[in-house]
Structure 1
Amino acid sequence: MKLGQCLILCTPGVPSELTHMLKDEIIPQLQQLFPPVARTNTHRLYTFGLGESTLQALLNDTLPNWPNEIAIGFRAAMPLLEIKLVTHCSKGEKSLAQWQEHLTHLLGDHIISIGKSDKLTLADYLVPLLIKEKQTITVAESCTGGLIASQITAISGASAVFEAGFVTYSNTMKSKMLNVPSATLSRYGAVSEETVLAMATGALEKSNADYVIAVSGIAGPDGGTKDKPVGSVWIAWGNKHSLQAKYYCIPVARQHFQQIVAARGLDLIRRMVLSSEECPNYNKVN
């Protein structure tokens, strides 16, 4: 319908129905009403570990002369952030490659991929990388309840890199399945550097995998203390020769907490497999 000089188009939310309406009705009408004055090009980059505000501030500080002919936009989709570079004129098209190179150099290994992507998790990028390197991975999960293993095994070909994972929610199972010493749990607690490193070591020994991710935390909404508030988590990652662990506090809703913890664990291993020496942004602010 038309309301004054405004054209209002109402559509259903069902994707299959909307797709046909867009293709057969809406887009032709819009093209007739608003004929394109120049060709539009869109280039996409997918990143992890940088929020929109952080990225915008980084661009403002580092690339203050960003050209007006190249529009830049962000679209957050857990866990990745999509960056869109859009040009509408020949001047923008000619300089696009140069400015995209500046951007990729600035963001480094925060960039997961360049171009169109229908991938949803960090496992989509890690599994092919492990297959290429002929390496295997195991997981020892507590607060994520098997989410990391689930994301890995959702990828076609995961059987080549993943044989077993461990979900040890209770202290008893951490000791029984992963050989975490009872004394370690008693002295430091389940959510501690000592425990998560012991979980990682036990998982490597049990599975004989090349890499490991281990997590133990407080997903909430209950269970936090003054010293270990809700959102606390220890993530351990590495291999038999080098294990690291880091504490994070991620005070968000339970489901988002688990998704973020899983994504960070997968990203830390991705960086290790790539031999990246860059410090991810989420390690700088925690």
Structure 2
Amino acid sequence: MASDMESDIALHLKADYFDFFDLSIEKIIGSGSTGDVVLAVHNTYPDINRAVKRFSLKEEDLQKRNISLERVKKLFYHEVEMVRDLDHPNIVRRSNGIVCPGYLAIAMDYCPLGTLVDHLKKMTSERIDKFFPGVVAGVEYLHSLRIVHGDIKLQNIFINADNEAVLGDFGVSFKMPENVQGVKSVGSTMGYFAPEVLKKKPSVDPFKCDSYAVGVVLRCLVKRRRPGYTSDYMEEIRSTKMEDKFRYFLERLLCRDPCKRSTMSEVQRSLIEFTPDRYTLELSRKRCLEDISNSSMPQQKKPTHKRSASSSS
């Protein structure tokens, strides 16, 4: 019998989820420790599709994946509880938990353009300008709710139909209590661990660990390759030719000292200064002010103005 909490956060069906909603499994699009992620398409209306993460409850599947039934259920309800109230354009949308015979499932919007891994080899500066602010916005939204993602990586950043980056997979995410400042450890993928985690510090700031992982993602986009097995990318950044704006963010996100490492709010504020539209707007405003200033000046130029112009050139 399901507990009240479990009944509240998940839809309980006596029938198979796919049969109940007239869906067919088109293909497997991912796989994890608890089961597969499949693309489900409506049989009558093929434009309706969902990505469905299945948590198998069958004994043979549990043995094959070396995981207990209790552990699977705990992971499922934890993830559903994490995502059910999230609402942000850079977070995977419409996530619903389903309990049915033989398995548990989380159904969510399907992102047809894959993950950042699929775009890595053809990454350009323009595409980084498109994807990176979305990643930052999604993580900053989580942090504003005191939610730590805990596993930010290329594979967990999806590209939706609008070619926007959206963050998914909240299996190890958690909410930090207001009166707690640090945790023992955070992160689950090698190459994305913050230096303080690998040094096994007694307490780490999980939000700064998320920031570091975002920095690793940006490094991967700039270098067009997956992360290395290291916790120190600073030397690589110094020796790599890249645009100043990317170096600016990498130096602040991959800083070894978590106290000096940028928060997502700080990065988001800085991004405004590097947005091309903002630059164009400021340039236009500056030129308008110059035109107004020039039109209001007397025909005979003052010597002081000449000195000012030459000193600013």
TM-score when scaled to structure 2? 0.24
TM-score normalised by structure 1 residue count: 0.25
Higher strand share: 1
Task: Flag the structure with more relative contact order, 1 or 2, with Cα contacts below 8 A and sequence separation at least 6.
Answer: 1
